[in-house]
Amino acid sequence: MFQIVDTISDLHKILALWQNQTIAFVPTMGNLHAGHMALVRHARTLAERVVVSIFVNPIQFGPGEDYASYPRTLDLDALKLAAEKVDLLFTPSSKEIYPSEKKLATTVNVSGLSDILCGATRPGHFSGVATVVTLLLNLIQPQVAIFGEKDFQQLLVIRRLVADLFLPVKIVGYPTVRESDGLAMSSRNGYLNTQERKQAPCLYRALRKMCDNLVTEMNDYIKLEDICWKELSEAGFKPEYCTVRRVLDLAVPNIEDRQLVVLAAARLGKTRLIDNVQVTL
Ligand code: PAF
């Protein structure tokens, strides 16, 4: 039976009935697309119960970002989750999660990893993510939690906090789900106008090209990044970064590193898009 709760006390009443069952948890900010639904379907295969949260987390948005305009489509999302036989949808208000009006006294910050790439242009973003994910994992206490690889840096931040705090949960990354033209699915794709939507797959193409060049032993990373930057700029993007990193920790790779990931963030009009592709040399 599909149930929706929006308070912590109702959440705990239901979880108390499932004490001997395994739980897979999929945290989201809603506006669910096929990428989220793939996470949910995967969750179904990993545990007896599937819990999804929808919470547009105010503390991971910076000033001037899209917190107020972030698409909120709860009724439609609930229908989609019910159709996938999700057991429980948790949709807390901001007040429920952050009851204190004042600045949070307790936050979680994964230093280093949170300060580079997206963290450099979105200060405080990953601390907001790490704090809410820790809080949700603590409230729900799942055996496993599933996150999309599209937000690759976020996934590593979460793996790191779970490891450092010895949280008893397995973090599973799930491959990025793409539109037929390669664009990574994202709730923010809805911000693109018709022209921008046509240009948007260039981001994935540029990353793929960087991977192909790496495989053909072009290991001058700076040169590859320059090529990608130029390509994105010519396609109408304003790149924030495009870079080759180590999969393990997003450090700049040494020549002997074989497991790499190319990542980019770029603005197209008012929309900020991110994507990444992993490559083994
Ligand atoms: O990836 C997201 O949707 C959010 O960052 C998350 C993990 C649900 C935390 O708010």
- Pairwise CA distance, residues 173 & 115, whole Å: 21
Is 36 among the residues known to form the active site? Answer: yes
Q: What is the pLDDT of residue 103?
A: 78
Angle between helices 221-234 and 202-215 (to 10 degrees): 160
Looking at residue 213, the DSSP 8-state letter turns out to be: H
Which residues of the chain, if any, have pLDDT below 70? none
Q: What is the pLDDT of residue 131?
A: 98
Residue-wise pLDDT for 253-280, tens only, equals 998 999 999 999 999 999 999 999 999 9
Q: Which of 33, 36, 42, 125 is catalytic?
A: 36
Ligand 1 atom with the smallest distance to the CA of 55 is 10
Closest C-alpha to ligand 1, atom 8: 28
Q: What is the pLDDT of residue 101?
A: 72
Structure tokens at 271: 């929309």
Q: What is the pLDDT of residue 35?
A: 98
In b/e form, how buried is each residue of 131-170, taking b as 16+ CB within 10 angstroms?
A: bbbbbbbebbbbbbbbbbbbbbbbbbbbbbbbeeeebebe
Does pTM top 0.85 for this prediction?
yes
Closest C-alpha to ligand 1, atom 9: 129
CA of 57 to the centre of ligand 1 (A): 8
- Pairwise CA distance, residues 75 & 268, whole Å: 29
CA of 224 to the centre of ligand 1 (A): 30
- Pairwise CA distance, residues 26 & 117, whole Å: 25
DSSP of 111-147, one letter per residue?
TTTTTSTHHHHSTTHHHHHHHHHHHHHHHH--SEEEE
- Pairwise CA distance, residues 23 & 48, whole Å: 6
CA of 66 to the centre of ligand 1 (A): 14
Q: What is the pLDDT of residue 217?
A: 74
CA of 107 to the centre of ligand 1 (A): 16
Helix (H, G, I), strand (E, B) or coil at 173: strand
Q: What is the pLDDT of residue 144?
A: 99
Ligand 1 atom with the smallest distance to the CA of 53 is 8
Residue-wise pLDDT for 100-137, tens only, equals 877 789 999 999 999 999 999 999 999 999 999 999 99
Q: Using most ligand atoms within 8 A of CB, pick from 55, 72, 90, 133 the residue to mutate for ligand 1.
A: 133
Q: Using most ligand atoms within 8 A of CB, pick from 25, 26, 28 the residue to mutate for ligand 1.
A: 28
50 lines ligand 1 (CB under 6 A): no
Q: What is the pLDDT of residue 219?
A: 81
Q: Degrees (nearest 5) of the Cα angle 139, 109, 167?
A: 40
Closest C-alpha to ligand 1, atom 3: 28
- Pairwise CA distance, residues 177 & 111, whole Å: 29
77 lines ligand 1 (CB under 6 A): no
